[in-house]
Each structure stands twice: as structure tokens, then as C-alpha cells.
Amino acid sequence: MSRGQLDRLRKRAKAGGQWRSSFAAMRHSRYGSLYYTARPERIVECPPDDRPGYGCVEEREDAIAAYTHALLWYVTRDRAHARKAVQIMDAWSDVVRDHTEGNAGLQAAWAGSSWARAAEIMRHTYGGWPRQRVRRFGGMLRTVYLREVTAPVPDYNGNWDLVMTDAAMGISVFLDDRRGFNRAVRRFRARVPAYFYLKSDGPLPKRPPGSHIGSPDRTREYWFGQRRFVNGLGQETCRNFTHIGYSLAATAHIAETAWHQGLDLYGEVGKRMRAALTLHARYQLGAHAPRWLCGGHLDRAMGPDTEVALNHFRTRRHISMPQAQRAAQRQRKVGTDDLFVAWEGVTHAQNR
């Protein structure tokens, strides 16, 4: 978020109406409680299967709680929220040292993206965070998170690459790391065209750079058996809309962060994003799935993942997207996915 967006959020929360009630929902959530207690772990172990993990849920939730309190601090100017946000972040930067097991990169990305957003707000708006603690938190992001979220994953499902790039860009902004920011931009430019299809790509989707997906059959297998490709289709559409939602959210987060840094990535991938938003919103709203699309069977469980993108296209660019808007409105009461998307119906809906 920009300072201007934060200021408009503050005015809305005080003005009343739907924005005040939405803000109140955030404030009264478990993440906004002043009794919230951080649960840091030295080693966060997140296996990709049914084995129990250690610290995975706790880390993600604590990062969202820190971000929630950072927003509450900015809006209310209640220093208790500022102290809580800092307390949570200090607890983790004092303890965590590594992420292990097969989901390490994705876990670090989910938490790291929220940590970066929270820390950026607190560093620039609250004078009560000691400089040495800010430096320690930055060191944690660089050594514990950045190395995980910049690892190559060209053959993984694309939501990994996009969420990891979301975290890498946010962390780079907090660290004032121009080289890291530029690396994230390059990765974004490579992955988005390989995830959201346009007919101009040719008869088959683009391959992720560096992947071992060589033949047309391997490409179709990577796209979960889909054989007909239309504008807006995503690499994981035939897997489920949950993961498509993660990818839409991460793509928008990256483009939004770059926008505030003076780089218009929306302009580069806007046609793909709009096509993907429209296609998936249509089926999320209940349209019949034809047999050529995922065999006629869709898992339509998209989360609250589209507000940032919609704000850019509808509010800034004045592009009508009625189906995507209706789908987003249905999700606004959800608030957060408990992973890396939080309160975007409050922070970004109609907030240029």
C-alpha cells in the first residue's frame, strides 16, 4: 500500500457506512486482538504431505496478525496496536533460523509477504521500533526468508513461483535492495505469461523458463490434462480455483508493489490478468462448465484474492469488469485466507 491509500483507509474507517463496518470486522478479528500472543519457532518444518508440521500455521498467522495490527495502528493511532505489531515481529526475528521440509519455499513466501508489509508500515510510521530491532528484522528477512523465496521452482505449479516472487519483491522493498527488486521483476515477467494463457501465445501455453516440460503432451499434463486453451485459462484452472486465486492475488501484489515503486507491470500483463479474472469469475459465479473445460468438472473454491487487481483496473483504469466485481463482493466478508491475503476488501476496494 502507498501512504495515500493508508490515509484514505483511515478516513473511510472514521466516516461510517460499509467501510466502517468492514474495518470493525478486521479490528474485532482474532488477528486484531491486543491479547494476541506470538508463537515463534526456531525451525519451521512444513512437509508437503500429511505429516504434522511445526510452526507452519503459527508463523503464517503471526505474520498476518502483525500486518493487521500495523493497519490498526495507522488507522486508529492507538499505540497499543503499534506495540503489538512490533512485539510479534521482534519475537520471530529473535528466534527463527530456518525453514525445512518440502514446503519450505512456499511457507516462507506466505509468511514473508505479510512480514514485509507489516514491517514497511511500522518502520516508516512508528517511532517506537528501536533501530537495532528493525535491523534484526531485516536480517531475518534476508537470511531466513529471501534465500527460500528466490530458489528456482520452474517445474512446480506456478502458484509457488508467483507467491515466492510476491514475497521476494516485498522483502526487497523493505531492505531497499534494488538488485533483489529487479530479480523479482524478471521472474515475474517470465512466469506470468507461462501461467495465464492468451491466444497470441500460440496453440500451446508458454513454458516456464528453465523447466523440463518439453513436449506438447508434457505441457498438457502440466496443465492438468487440459487440451483446449482459451484466453484467461490458468495453469492450475483444472486443479482448482483455490490455487488460481493464490496466483491472481500474488500477481496483483507484485504489480501493485511495483506500481508504488514507479514501474507499471500492470501494463505489461494487464490483458492476461483481465482475461483470467473474467474467465474464473464467470465460473465462480456458477456458469455451466462445458466438457472441453477440465472435463466439465471445476473446483470453484476461490478465496478473497481479486481486490487488488480489480482496484487497479476498475478504479484507476475505469475498465468495467462486472462478473469479477460480483465474484469479489461475495468474498468480502471472508477477510483473509489465513495464508498471505488479508483484509484487501478493506484496504484496496475502490482505493486508488
- Whole-number pLDDT of residue 14: 87
Phi, psi of 273 (to 5 degrees): -65, -45
Q: Which of 277, 208, 207 is nearest to 248 (CA)?
A: 277
Phi, psi of 25 (to 5 degrees): -65, -40
Sequence-distant contacts of 20-29: CB under 8 A, at least 24 apart: 22/332, 22/345, 22/346, 23/75, 23/346, 25/333, 25/335, 25/346, 26/68, 26/71, 26/72, 26/335, 26/343, 26/346, 27/72, 27/76, 29/68, 29/335, 29/336
**Residue range 113-138: average pLDDT?**
98
pLDDT exceeds cutoff 90 at 57: yes
pLDDT tens for 273-323 read: 999 999 999 999 999 999 999 999 999 999 999 999 999 999 999 999 999
Q: CA-CA distance, 186 to 191, in Å (whole number)?
A: 9
- The answer to whether the beta carbons of residues 7 and 15 sit under 8 Å apart is no
**Residue range 71-89: average pLDDT?**
98
- Whole-number pLDDT of residue 231: 98
- Whole-number pLDDT of residue 131: 97
**Residue range 199-226: average pLDDT?**
96
Q: Is 99 helix (H, G, I), strand (E, B) or coil?
A: strand
**Residue range 174-193: average pLDDT?**
98
**Residue range 53-82: average pLDDT?**
98
pLDDT tens for 100-120 read: 999 999 999 999 999 999 999
pLDDT exceeds cutoff 80 at 53: yes
**Residue range 86-111: average pLDDT?**
98
pLDDT exceeds cutoff 90 at 82: yes
- Whole-number pLDDT of residue 193: 98
**Residue range 245-260: average pLDDT?**
98
| pLDDT band, very low/low/confident/very high, at 126 (cuts 50, 70, 90) | very high
pLDDT exceeds cutoff 80 at 163: yes
pLDDT exceeds cutoff 80 at 16: no
| pLDDT band, very low/low/confident/very high, at 242 (cuts 50, 70, 90) | very high
Sequence-distant contacts of 126-132: CB under 8 A, at least 24 apart: 126/73, 126/79, 126/82, 126/85, 126/86, 128/79, 128/82, 128/83, 128/86, 129/82, 129/86
Instruction: Tell me the H-state helices in the chain.
Output: 3-15, 17-27, 56-76, 79-95, 104-125, 131-140, 147-149, 158-174, 178-195, 216-222, 241-260, 265-284, 307-310, 322-331, 344-347
- The answer to whether the beta carbons of residues 141 and 171 sit under 8 Å apart is yes
| pLDDT band, very low/low/confident/very high, at 18 (cuts 50, 70, 90) | confident
Q: For all residues of the chain together, what is the average pLDDT?
A: 97
| pLDDT band, very low/low/confident/very high, at 50 (cuts 50, 70, 90) | confident
- Whole-number pLDDT of residue 70: 98
| pLDDT band, very low/low/confident/very high, at 17 (cuts 50, 70, 90) | confident
| pLDDT band, very low/low/confident/very high, at 19 (cuts 50, 70, 90) | confident
Q: CA-CA distance, 60 to 96, in Å (whole number)?
A: 13
- Whole-number pLDDT of residue 154: 96
Q: CA-CA distance, 63 to 92, in Å (whole number)?
A: 9
Share above pLDDT 70 across residues of the chain, in percent, rounded to a whole number:
100
